Structures are given as structure tokens and as C-alpha cells.
């Protein structure tokens, strides 16, 4: 029984066929003429093929369905309709909305099947699938409803394990909220994140102390010494190095794939950007000027008579300091932490990633990948733009 005695129960009208201008106008014009109630509508065009679905409530005495069929025939499209039973009372929603973003060199049925299978295992219902990339099927956005009794962390770990089992594509899970597309600040580590090298390793190699520095780094990674002490010992080995070597390396830093595109798009969209690095200020400042980054914080190497003294000046930028700097920048810019993205590759980036609304482990070790909100291993830094929900068409418009 309908809510209004003069109207029938809702009908789902679906139009399919070759897309052309005027189809939607013609169909809605017919509905408008008879006073039909439009309850819902969705339209999509895939490679020139249109699917238009409209949920309508029609007057009981109307022959509008026949008019719609005649119009469809004239337009060269197909029309189907079926009654839909709508409950008088709708129960409160018992699921939460999330977005799964897939990014790869080339996605296909195998990759989408693997992700869809994981979603089904966690009882997540796929509500919508969008293609984000333009020239090829390189990025797909899947909108899902996850039952509230299901743990999103378990789903995230399952999707992460899937991505870690292959180098073909990355997959990220984000809560669908106002802040997903409302990020305003992107904070990045420098060495092995924004650039492809570790500056201290390059300096040590040139100075002939590469093996000694590598041994100290390994001890720190094994937990035999903390970050601060390992940095002091490695910097001490650089005592006497000509500062010109540091400046030469800093002026020719090899950028990570996608770094220039990422920064260029972020700047044009009004994002604030920052480097927060456990590396060295000469390199960070060079990148800041080269890319137009707003903030740069890193360790300052002490100089005397054109040589490095083997010491640093000021507080060491360690894991805790990185997190504090992220908060400080957000506060000074009036940006909520939920609107911050942090990107890093090492253990000393973990606290920074945890403070941000979206923490991204970039080509990182498994431990950091598991702790971060999401990870990127198959693509470049510009993959982050798809995680913001930007489409290939929008990126082309921005890059002009």
C-alpha cells in the first residue's frame, strides 16, 4: 500500500543504451508532465554506454510507462521497469561507509576479484565502483558498507596482506567522511621518501666511511642503540668533510617517482606542504626551494672553516620531534590533525604517521606498513592524489 492513495508503489525505471545528449531530459520531461514523484536517480556512462536508473512513484491513472517506452524506442535505447517494495519504516543504518582505493600499473579482473573476495569475507557490501584514472584502468575506488559488528582494522590488515603478497598494486581503506577529501596539510619524510637516496650514506661513501656508517645504521635497526646515539656516531664519522660535498649532493638530489607531480598538484589546490626529516638541513632547504615546499625541518650539521665538525646543532629530529613538529605546523596553520597526511618510510616516522589523519607508509618495511593507515609500494608518490579521491580528469585539469 502506498503512502498516497493517488499514487502507485514505487517503480524502478532503468534506461540502457548508446549515450547521446537529451536522453535524461526526455525521460524526466515525461515524468514531470504527469506529476510523477522522483525518489532517487543515478546515471553512469561507461565507454559511451549509458545506464540511467530512476526510482519513481507514478499516479495510479497514468499511462506514463507506455510514454516512456515509446520515447526509449525513438531514442534507440532500452527501457526496463519493475515495482519496488519500500518499507513504511526504515530501520536505523547498522553499517559504516568506507572507501577502498586500488592503484596499480594496470588493474584487471584478477586484481578486482582478489579485493572483492576479501571484502565479501568480511561481509562488506559493495555499493559503488568508480574508475579514477583516465587513460588506463590504473585506479579504482570502491565504496563499501561495513557492518558495525565488523572490525575495520581486521579488514585493513586483510587488504594489506593482499597488497603485500604482490607487487602489482596497492590497496587502501579509508573511512568515508568529510575529512577524506578535506585534507589541507601534507607532511613528508625526505630520505628514501621524497628522494630516492639517504644523504648520509652518500656523504659517507664519498668520504670513504660508508662501511662504518652502514654498521652503525644496522645496529640501530636491530635495536642495539637508539636513533639519537646512532645519528651522533654516524655524523662524527663525517668530521672534516668539505662542506662543498654536502652542497653539491644537495643540489642534485634524485626525486622519487611522482614527487614533482604530487607537490605541483598540492600547491595548485592550496595544500600546505612540509618536509620533516631526520636528514640534514642543507638538503631539506634545497628541496624546499626547488619544489616550493612551505616548511622544512631537519638536523643541522655544524660547520667550521668550510668543514663539517662531526656534530649537529640544536635538537635532533627524531621520532618524537617529528610528531611534535607535525602538530606545531597544523596548529600554526589552523588545520585539524584529521586534515593532515603524513608520509614516511622508516621506524622514526611511526609517531608522525600515527598523529596524522592519514598516515602513509611509502615503500616501507613490513612493520611500518602494518602500523600505518595505508601503504604505497607499487606506485609513486603521486598515488597519494588518488587516495584523496581525485580523478585522472581532475588531475589533467590541474596540471593543465
Catalytic residues: 189, 191
**Residue 49 class from Cβ within 10 Å (0-12 exposed, 13-18 middle, 19+ buried)?**
exposed
Cβ pair 107, 137 in contact under 8 A: yes
Q: State whether residue 383 is helix, strand or coil.
A: helix
Helices 199-207, 243-250: crossing angle, 10 deg rounding: 140
Strands 125-131 vs 139-147: parallel, antiparallel or unpaired: antiparallel
Cβ pair 112, 94 in contact under 8 A: no
| Grid cell of 112 as nine digits | 578486482
| Grid cell of 117 as nine digits | 573476495
| Grid cell of 280 as nine digits | 640534514
CB atoms within 10 A of CB 342: 30
Give, in order, the Cα–Cα distances in Å from 282 to each of 154, 210, 300, 337.
42, 20, 8, 28
DSSP 379: S
Amino acid at each position: 500500500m502506498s503512502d498516497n492513495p493517488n499514487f502507485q508503489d514505487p517503480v524502478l525505471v532503468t534506461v540502457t543504451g548508446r549515450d547521446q545528449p537529451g536522453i535524461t531530459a526526455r525521460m524526466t520531461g515525461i515524468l514531470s508532465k504527469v506529476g510523477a514523484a522522483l525518489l532517487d536517480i543515478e546515471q553512469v556512462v561507461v565507454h559511451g554506454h549509458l545506464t540511467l536508473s530512476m526510482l519513481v512513484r507514478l499516479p495510479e491513472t497514468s499511462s506514463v510507462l507506455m510514454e516512456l517506452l515509446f520515447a526509449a524506442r525513438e531514442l534507440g535505447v532500452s527501457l526496463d521497469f519493475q515495482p519496488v517494495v519500500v518499507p513504511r519504516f526504515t530501520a536505523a543504518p547498522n553499517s559504516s561507509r568506507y572507501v577502498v582505493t586500488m592503484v596499480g600499473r594496470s588493474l584487471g579482473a584478477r586484481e578486482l576479484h582478489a579485493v572483492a573476495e576479501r571484502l565479501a569475507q568480511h561481509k562488506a557490501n559493495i555499493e559503488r565502483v568508480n574508475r579514477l584514472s583516465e587513460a588506463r584502468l590504473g585506479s579504482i575506488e570502491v565504496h563499501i558498507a561495513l557492518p558495525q559488528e565488523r572490525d575495520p582494522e581486521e579488514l585493513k590488515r586483510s587488504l594489506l596482506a593482499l597488497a603485500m603478497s604482490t607487487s602489482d598494486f596497492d590497496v587502501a581503506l579509508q573511512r568515508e567522511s568529510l575529512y577524506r577529501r578535506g585534507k589541507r596539510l601534507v607532511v613528508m619524510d625526505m630520505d628514501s621518501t621524497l628522494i630516492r637516496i639517504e644523504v648520509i650514506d652518500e656523504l659517507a661513501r664519498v668520504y670513504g666511511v660508508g662501511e662504518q656508517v652502514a654498521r652503525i645504521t644496522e645496529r640501530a635497526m636491530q635495536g642495539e642503540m637508539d636513533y639519537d646515539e646512532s645519528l651522533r656516531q654516524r655524523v662524527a664519522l663525517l668530521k672534516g668533510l668539505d662542506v662543498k660535498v654536502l652542497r653539491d649532493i644537495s643540489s642534485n638530489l634524485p626525486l622519487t617517482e611522482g614527487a614533482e607531480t604530487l607537490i605541483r598538484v598540492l600547491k595548485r589546490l592550496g595544500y600546505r606542504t612540509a618536509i620533516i626529516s631526520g636528514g640534514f638541513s642543507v638538503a631539506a632547504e634545497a628541496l624546499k626551494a626547488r619544489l616550493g615546499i612551505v616548511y622544512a625541518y631537519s638536523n643541522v650539521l655544524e660547520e667550521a672553516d668550510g668543514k663539517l665538525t662531526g656534530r649537529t646543532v640544536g635538537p635532533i629530529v627524531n621520532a618524537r620531534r617529528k610528531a611534535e613538529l607535525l602538530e606545531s605546523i597544523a596548529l600554526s596553520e589552523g588545520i585539524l590533525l584529521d586534515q593532515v597526511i603524513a608520509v614516511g618510510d622508516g621506524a622514526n616516522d611511526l609517531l608522525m604517521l600515527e598523529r596524522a589523519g592519514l598516515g602513509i607508509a611509502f615503500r616501507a618495511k613490513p612493520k611500518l606498513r602494518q602500523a600505518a593507515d595505508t601503504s604505497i609500494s607499487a606506485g609513486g608518490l603521486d598515488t597519494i592524489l588518488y587516495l584523496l579521491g581525485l580523478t585522472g580528469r581532475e588531475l589533467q585539469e590541474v596540471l593543465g
